[in-house]
Amino acid sequence: MKEVDLKAQPFELLFSQDRIESKIREIGEIISIDYAGKNPVLLGVLKGCFVFMADLIRAINVPSEVEFISAHSYGSATVPGELTLSGGPQASLKGRHILMVEGVVDTGRTARSILDSLKRMEPASVEIVTLLNKTGRRESEIEIKYSGFEIGNDFVIGYGLDHGQMYRNLPFIGKVIDK
């Protein structure tokens, strides 16, 4: 198999820091209105959510709690494999309003499997918020209430999202170019 030099992976800018920032402000304002008088639990799906979560929670002005769950698939850098969930919320989610926070929803398999395991915890409500949404790639039907940017078939990096565990530190979102 051909070795891929990840450090030399070519990419181009898709969403600048400014665009991401104003989009998150917008989503934060809507969530703040929708959850007024409530105390939601933001459940982040690691690892891809971590940068988005940090900015999103500061754009929400209702008292919010934070939990994380790890979703890991043993695939290649860009193609997901078998999915495992680990970690998971420390607090009981029974009767709570949950906002599942994702960096990107691609096939929807991760979101579907987390939604199914959350249902067993009897929350009051569960909604999904994702910064990036690849609707055209869906294999599992899921409803996403809050979506930042709709994207196509591109593989994206930066702002928490990786390619072979790298590029999460880029402050913007880029798309990987196949060369």
- Active-site residue set: 106
Q: Which is nearer to ligand IMP, 21 or 138 (CB)?
A: 138
Query: Where would I find the H helices in the chain?
Result: 17-34, 50-58, 109-119
How many chain residues touch ligand IMP (CB under 6 A)? 16
SS3 66: strand
Say how many residues make up the chain.
Answer: 179
Burial class (CB in 10 A: 0-12, 13-18, 19+), 86: exposed
Binding of residue 168 to ligand IMP (CB under 6 A): no
Smallest CA-to-CA distance from 118 within 55, 110, 135 is with 110
Pick from Mg ion, ligand IMP, none: which does 106 bind, CB < 5 to 8 A by kind? ligand IMP
Q: Which stretch binds ligand IMP (CB under 6 A): 18-26, 34-42, 93-101, 154-162?
A: 154-162
Residues that bind Mg ion (CB under 5 A): 162
Residues that bind ligand IMP (CB under 6 A): 48, 80, 102, 104-111, 155-157, 161-162
